[in-house]
Amino acid sequence: MSLLPENTALNVQEYLQKHQQKTTLRLITCGSVDDGKSTLIGRLLYESKQLFDDQLATLEADSKRVGTQGGALDFALLVDGLAAEREQGITIDVAYRYFSTDERQFIIADTPGHEQYTRNMVTGASNADLAILLIDARKGVLTQTRRHSFLCSLVGVKHIVLAVNKMDLVDYQQSVFERIVEAYQSFAAQLGFASVHAIPMAALRGDNIIDASKQTPWYKGPSLLTYLNRIKLEEQSSDAPFRFPVQWVNRPNLDFRGFAGTIVSGKISVGDPIKVLPSGKQSRVARIVTADGDLASAGKHQAVTLTLADELDISRGDVIASSESPPAVADQFEATIVWMDEHPLLPGRQYLIKIGPNTSNVTITDIKHQINVNTMEHLAAKKLELNAIAVCNINLDRAIAFDPYLQNRDMGGFILIDKLSNNTVGAGTIQFALRRSQNIHWQHIDVSKKARSELKHQQPCLLWFTGLSGAGKSTIANLVEKKLHALGKHTYLLDGDNVRHGLNKDLGFTDADRVENIRRIAEVSKLMVDAGLIVLTAFISPFRSERRMARQLFADNEFLEIFIDTPLAVAEQRDPKGLYKKARAGQLKNFTGIDSPYEAPEQAEIHIDSTKLSATEAADLIVEKILNRR
């Protein structure tokens, strides 16, 4: 098959014009480890004559040096660029390659098959129109096959090419191919793909990659490349609503204020009415500015700067949209989440959520169910481990403009980021806004925290005592409250054990329950501080994330972290409740310091070394610092 123009007399300009008019197909290869994904892409590049002489020379040299194919070309080396990939013979990172035929341009992503690198696979699939799902003919449909299929459906991939690879190792048996196809189609019927087309192939030998193979006369369908050239994709309607997330406010001088970004759907023209979300303010487009001059109109994927007829307060993350069909605005959603971190997702813990240029705080309030990717069964879950997929309710700290993911990938897809490590720990898609996000509103109250505080003649605050069990938190907090009470201060002490007899009696001591325990205490404390009280809490509160979450609920100088620093050996020696003894005997699970971690504060406002100060001395020091703070 000829893949490049054979007419050498073809005018260069005509060729370039023809090239620009080609459609672009974005696709990924996915599947289990060692199913031949990299080899398939390498074979495509080689057979389509997309390699330069120096690349071929390098491939020949690398193939001889690595020797995985006995001196023959190892096409996987064209894609596996990392040293670790070549050493282990697996794909670790996503590798993108570009090639074209007479009919179409292709951007292909080689994604890892190993479960450890699921996040990389999701990254590659998030922009793909089609997935080539490879299956080793010797092994059939595996868990990773199902997992990648589900992830493809989750991120909106509509078309699947089921590449039953390594047919040469099963003597090109038609029965093997048909058995695998039947098993996969039975599973895939639940996922709603627009098309699933199966092709028997041997990527290493080139069977059914470019041309029909003589080894599979029973297969009457097209080769892989023929199929990729011909498949029709659903183009987003040109009249889709206009969406323009603002990435940057461009203000080079006093006379120009524009809003820069990329149009993610629809089109816009000078003079069109627009609405800015979430504020809801309206205006008209005054100019569409680009580096090459102003445009009369612009459409999807164009990066432009818009200026408006009115001076509106617009920031990064706001969305400029069609005034006739604006996106919805909400702060609570049902979403599907893929968890990608070795540390589990814990409901109640706060993360960062990034949707386009918009970054907000988010809490997963409820795991509605986890999904078994083998059976599609819904399972109960209190936390999500690495690679788990679940439907969850999420709560943002502010309202955002959005579209459901299936309507607009850019407006409904997100990633989750750990606030301490800044690592990407999850990805997800928004299904819909929860009704309560539309129906529950803040009620204005005339008597303010300031008025309540002035009545009590004190500055309200939260004293957050943290430390190991046996460190002396409750003892010191009790002394501090007594001293403040004697001075006429209005206080309340929330003690860990006491609260678990009432408000938190339904919570255990797993990590998930500990996170929820602290979330509730932080919210109750916030109400009490709003009432004008000086609140004291005595909880182990072992995780930095939750203490940080609690701190963010309060104004500057209202949250004082007090670290009662006691070595584990000393706390264990004291053991006033006999808990360490039970934990050491294996009678008490998830005990902080023994089989559950304690993350000490890094910058507590008050640091008490309980091995050097008595409880009374510590209380005196704390009271002095509280009363003298500004």
Q: Write down the mean pLDDT value for the chain.
A: 86
Alpha carbons 535 and 101: distance in angstroms, whole number: 70
Q: Is 541 a catalytic residue?
A: yes
Residues 524 and 561 in one domain: yes
Q: Is the pLDDT of residue 78 over 70?
A: no
Q: Is the pLDDT of residue 393 over 70?
A: yes
Final residue of a structural domain among 322, 337, 358: 322
Number of domains in the chain: 4
Residues 590 and 616 in one domain: yes
**pTM of the predicted model as reported, rounded to 2 decimal places:** 0.74
Two tokens, residue 19: 């090239």
CATH number at residue 204: 3.40.50.300
Cα separations in angstroms, 258 against 68, 211, 241, 477 = 56, 52, 21, 54
Instruction: With respect to residue 4, please indicate whether it lies within any of the assigned structural domains.
Output: no
Instruction: With respect to residue 3, please indicate whether it lies within any of the assigned structural domains.
Output: no
Q: Which structural domain range is residue 410 located in?
A: 328-433
Cis peptide before 344 (omega within 30 of 0): no
CATH number at residue 293: 2.40.30.10
Residues 404 and 256 in one domain: no
Higher pLDDT, 13 or 85: 13
Instruction: With respect to residue 13, please indicate whether it lies within any of the assigned structural domains.
Output: no
Residues 500 and 597 in one domain: yes
Average pLDDT of the residues in 117-128: 77
Name the band, by pLDDT with cuts 50, 70 and 90, for residue 214.
very high
Average pLDDT of the residues in 7-34: 75
Q: Is the pLDDT of residue 1 over 50?
A: no
Residues 317 and 343 in one domain: no
Name the band, by pLDDT with cuts 50, 70 and 90, for residue 547.
very high
What's the confidence (pLDDT) of residue 9?
52
Instruction: With respect to residue 337, please indicate whether it lies within any of the assigned structural domains.
Output: yes
Q: Among residues 302, 333, 344, which one has the least CA distance to residue 401?
A: 333
What's the confidence (pLDDT) of residue 32?
82
Instruction: With respect to residue 95, please indicate whether it lies within any of the assigned structural domains.
Output: yes
Residues 296 and 358 in one domain: no
Residues 347 and 292 in one domain: no
Q: Which is the catalytic residue, given 541, 545, 596, 614?
A: 541
Residues placed in the known binding site? 31-38, 110-114, 165-168, 467-474
Burial class of residue 401 (count of CB atoms within 10 Å of its CB; 0-12, 13-18, 19+): buried
Name the band, by pLDDT with cuts 50, 70 and 90, for residue 47.
confident
Instruction: With respect to residue 439, please indicate whether it lies within any of the assigned structural domains.
Output: no
What's the confidence (pLDDT) of residue 234?
67
Residues 408 and 473 in one domain: no
447-477 pLDDT tens trace: 999 999 999 999 999 999 999 998 999 999 9
Residues placed in the known binding site for GTP? 31-38, 110-114, 165-168
Q: Is the pLDDT of residue 376 over 90?
A: no
Average pLDDT of the residues in 140-153: 88
- Strand spans (E) along 533-577: 534-538, 559-565
307-356 pLDDT tens trace: 999 988 999 999 999 999 999 999 999 999 999 888 999 998 899 999 98
Sheet of 534-538: strands edge to edge?
491-495, 534-538, 461-466, 559-565, 606-609
Name the band, by pLDDT with cuts 50, 70 and 90, for residue 514.
confident
Two tokens, residue 171: 């003597």
Name the band, by pLDDT with cuts 50, 70 and 90, for residue 301.
confident
Residues 195 and 176 in one domain: yes
Lowest-confidence region among 7-11, 354-358, 385-389, 496-500? 7-11
Q: Is the pLDDT of residue 38 over 60?
A: yes
Average pLDDT of the residues in 214-240: 84
Name the band, by pLDDT with cuts 50, 70 and 90, for residue 31.
confident
Q: Is the pLDDT of residue 77 over 70?
A: no
Residues 195 and 249 in one domain: no
152-170 pLDDT tens trace: 888 888 899 999 999 999 9
What's the confidence (pLDDT) of residue 373?
76
Residues 224 and 301 in one domain: no
Radius of gyration of the chain (CA): 30
What's the confidence (pLDDT) of residue 2?
45
What's the confidence (pLDDT) of residue 72?
67
Residues 169 and 30 in one domain: yes
Q: Tell me what percent of the residues of the chain surpass a pLDDT of 70.
A: 90
Final residue of a structural domain among 230, 251, 284: 230
Handedness of CA 170, 172, 176, 177 (dihedral sign): positive
Average pLDDT of the residues in 20-36: 82
Final residue of a structural domain among 322, 343, 363: 322
Instruction: With respect to residue 440, please indicate whether it lies within any of the assigned structural domains.
Output: no
Instruction: With respect to residue 235, please indicate whether it lies within any of the assigned structural domains.
Output: no
What's the confidence (pLDDT) of residue 206?
86
Higher pLDDT, 1 or 590: 590
Q: Among residues 347, 357, 311, which one has the least CA distance to residue 513?
A: 347
Q: Is the pLDDT of residue 182 over 50?
A: yes
